[in-house]
Chains A and B, each alone.
Chain A
Amino acid sequence: MKRNKFLTTLAAISLGAALLAGCSGNNNADSKENGNAAASNTESGNAASANNASSGDATNKEVESNAGTLPDKPTGTFSFFINSGATWDPAIWDWGGHHNAIGIFEGLVHYSQGKVVPGTATSWKEDGAKWKFTLRQDAKFSNGDPVTAEAFVLGIQRAVDPNTVKGTSKASSFLGDTHIVNYLDIQNGLKKVDELGVKAIDPYTLEIDLQEPDKSFLDKLAISNWQMPVDPKVVKLGVSDDTWTDPAKIVSNGPYMIDKLNVKTDMWLKPNPYYYGKVSLEKIHMTWSTPEIKQLLVFQNNESDMATLAAEDVPAVKGDSTLTNELNWFDTSISYTFQVRHSENPALQNEKVRQALTMAIDKQAIADKVLGGTGTPSYDGSITTWMADWIKNVGPQYDVAKAKELMKEAGYPDGKGFPTLVMLVPGADDKVAQAVQQLWQQNLGINVKYDGEEWGAYVTKFDESADPGTVSVVQNGVGPAVANWKETIVQTDPLHMELAKIALDGKAWENYRKIWNDSKLEQGDKNKQASDLFAANFSKDITDRYAKAADAYKKDDEAGLKDFVSWRMNTAWTFPIYTVRNGILLKPNVKGYFPMRMWLSTPPDWLNDITVS
């Protein structure tokens, strides 16, 4: 099974653009059959989960679980900040889709308190690569129409159908590495959308055929927008129009529906009157977060029940006993890293140099002093310490003496003779990048230049090779697709072997860019030519390692997989610095907020778990 390395630029931290990926994994991945748990949503996700327990800070506490205690009648208003959406069409890739996934729509399964729980499907059966879902018969859309297997088929077909996104400037909802039979051929226009491996066996039985068995399928479903049903009486195949931004026209099936929407500011939700279970809140107010809005001020003025702290807010909050009591630390899965850029100059091709660079960074000091606790040291871009604690011990450690020695061995004693190292960073004032710059200069004696660029310029330069005569690293944000470390390392498709791509020599990289930027080539041809180029130029050591790891994954050979991770970290092609950790203030009367840790902004994972007394 392939994993989709999900690479997003984390300058997005400041822009609030985050990414979605799978979610807190290892809990349900192995449940072959779920005996009709949860007659109603109110009973589904008990257990306050181990999901948030591992970050080891005195202020870190579990948010009180709420499950099983929803009021008989929707009560209270919950007001919080979230990334803005532009469309709420579940077939379209957009932040609005993430809003859909936490309670405007309800898929087959969803997350609740960090676990995958039944949604509209009450039970399911896995038979190799075939999944059969039994749907509940009392589920209804917000217009009263029944939610049938047909509605799911239409929803998933729309997400795959390339016609849906035509003329929208958007992309289809991301199926990632969930390989439904024929999905790629349909997206590439080679097959018709009704050939997709999704069928309604009867009105309440849905079958999904995958190309190969997938241990993480339920985790991937739970966080996905593409699995949402749409009402066949209202929604058509091949169209996404502006009805998806008009609350009066959006028909959804989750516990909440959109009441009022101000596309650029905020949105109000109200209970879906036809929802089969209890609905906890009378109103939900979602305000779009922007870096300029001071969430702490808004929280203190009681206009919001939730606020995400900026690093500079932390001392003020820690100095205030009331606020300290309202503070929760939520880990995310997104890491801030640097990665080697391609260059004519081979200095960074030397593994010793890269290891020295890694060893010269005091990540703990950066997490504590620069980030004020809004980050924890990161050791591997796709495996966080909360997923696998051992990760911190297997890679190169902070050791200045050793780093200097390695530089000397590489022929650069005290940094002498080393070319200028340029750091490409979005924004002129990235404190973390500046700290890394200082550490490299002080500890290794090399000359490091900070190249802060406006977002558009940064994005444009991201793939370009370093300027002649220099070597360079670029800041990037990375995260896994599912929160299971074993799932995050299996990658055999050359187009997605990020490490091998980074390690490519400068010339081969430029050839790849020529193919990729050729506007006359069809996407399919691009993929093919790029794959061929990679196959011919990838380092054999790297591809062998990947093949071995894939084998270890199939055999569930944990030692083999750990060996691969350790090797990967010691190649030091990337320099993970910290994993984002959100300081989130919640009013004391808010219960049941459990963070969606795969998203950078850690919104609640299921809105209907939240109560406000």
Chain B
Amino acid sequence: MLVYVIRRVGYMIVALLALTLITFFLMKQAPGSFLTINIMQSGLQTSGHSSYSMDVLQEWSERYHIGEPWYMEYWGYLKGILTWDFGTSFQYPNTPIMSLLVKAFPISLGIALSSIILGLLISIPVGIFAAMRRNTWADSGAMFFSMLGTSIPAYILAVFLIMVFSLYLHWLPSMGWRDLKNYVIPVLALALPMTGSMSRYMRTSLVENLNKDYATTVIAKGGSKRDVIYRHVLRNSLIPLITIIGPHLAGMLMGTVMIEFMFGIPGMGQLFNNAAGSRDYPLIMVSTFLYTLVIMVMNLLVDIIYGLLDPRIRRSGMSD
């Protein structure tokens, strides 16, 4: 197991290095610089603002190796990442990047995790319900709705939820970021589409296990369907579900970007998008790096948990 984890971490480091290099080149390829965009955006183009760009440029040149060969500039960023000293961004030169991320990341992560948990809380019972009533109208009905959930994108669902809960019922705020109420619609919008695939996984996995000999034995010995499911089959059936949670969480962290925009939520999506749009190089580098790191760590954790739940995987992982 330990060897497996060490090897995975090794791959991660290589992948992260490659990622920073790719991000760096793509970012430098994008036309325009923070200064030109900032000047244009704020209408300073012709305002005759002397000494502005020169002063700022000089400061930045020293801090970020601007104007030096690419490898020096890249090393500037890489050094920051390696020493975990991210410095400040172009847009907010008074605020360390870390404190920007510390504010934004928990918001995105909170939304993503709540959505997954809510998704599970809905999917598992629906899956069980459908599996217990296999091939009845209740089964088809539940699966139809989960199918519907999968096919509707989160942002469309979000508009629909706003219409219902904000516009007609006036129960929930339609945007903004003030209190717990603001969580509800974004989380629902992200969780409901997820229940489609999750509940189907749950149902299929249950049905498969119910057909296995050990389940038949329990029934033959006089156990009820309920006994079989809750005491024996459920735990085994959860394994496939866990495999899809990892990718879901990764996808979810990206999926919140659109939702964050729609609801004006100050999370990672907003931060990252602003950084890219205004060519805020330090912020682009650091946020891409940390984002990827989190997703990779999540995936690693899921694989480890998977291994813990299923000894066969653990063994094959070690023998790899």
Contacts and interface: CB of A to CB of B under 8 A. Distances in A.
Nearest to A168: B93
Interface string A288-320: 101011100110111100000000000000000
Categorize the interface residue count of chain B: 35 or more
A166 B59 contact: yes
A266 B176 contact: yes
A17 B55 contact: no
Interface string A229-270: 000000000000110010000000000000000111110000
A457 B51 contact: no
A303 B174 contact: yes
A301 B166 contact: yes
Interface in A422-436: none
B266 interface: yes
Contact of A169 (B67, B93, B162, B271): B93
B43 A189 contact: no
B173 interface: yes
Interface stretch (B33-41, B201-209, B286-294): B33-41
B162 A7 contact: no
Contacts of A262: 177, 266
B167 A300 contact: yes
Contacts of B34: 169
Interface stretch (A210-218, A273-281, A406-414, A520-528): A520-528
A168 B89 CA distance: 10
B177 A301 contact: no
B270 A297 contact: no
A242 B176 contact: no
Interface in B23-66: 30-34, 36-57, 59
B48 A4 contact: yes
B101 interface: no
Contact of A162 (B44, B55, B176): B55
A165 B55 contact: yes
B90 A498 contact: no
Interface in B93-122: 93-95, 104
A187 interface: yes
B216 interface: no
Interface in A186-206: 187-189
Nearest to A457: B31
Nearest to A93: B42
A168 B55 CA distance: 10
Given A4-B47, A7-B46, A288 B55 contact: no
Contact of B91 (A4, A17, A86, A292): A86
Nearest to A479: B43
Contacts, number: 165
Interface string A127-156: 000000000000000000000000000000
Contacts of B178: 266
Given A301-B174, A460-B36, A187 B31 contact: no
B43 A8 contact: yes
A6 B42 CA distance: 11
B167 A297 contact: yes
Contacts of B271: 264
A90 to B, nearest CB: 15
A297 B53 CA distance: 41
Contact of B31 (A12, A245, A263, A456): A456
Nearest to A163: B55
A417 interface: no
Interface string B173-210: 11111100000000000000000000000000000000
Contact of A459 (B40, B48, B93): B40
B170 interface: yes
B55 A265 contact: no
B277 A455 contact: yes
A232 B55 CA distance: 26
Given A184-B50, A462-B40, A287 B31 contact: no
A292 B260 CA distance: 9
B37 A17 contact: no
Contacts of A245: 94-95
B37 A455 contact: yes
A171 interface: yes
B41 A293 contact: no
Contact of B262 (A20, A166, A288, A292): A292
A570 B48 CA distance: 28
Given A165-B55, A287-B264, A301-B174, A461 B48 contact: no
A5 interface: yes
For the complex of A and B, list the 9 residue pairs with the smallest distance between their C-beta atoms, beginning with the closest.
A456-B32, A264-B266, A8-B43, A19-B43, A242-B94, A292-B261, A523-B50, A460-B32, A301-B166
Interface of A: 4-9, 12, 15, 17-20, 86, 93-94, 162, 165-169, 171-172, 174, 176, 184, 187-189, 241-242, 245, 262-266, 287-288, 290, 292-294, 297-298, 300-303, 455-457, 459-462, 495-496, 498, 519, 522-524, 527
11 contacts: A162-B51, A169-B93, A265-B266, A290-B261, A294-B175, A301-B173, A301-B174, A303-B173, A456-B37, A459-B37, A461-B31
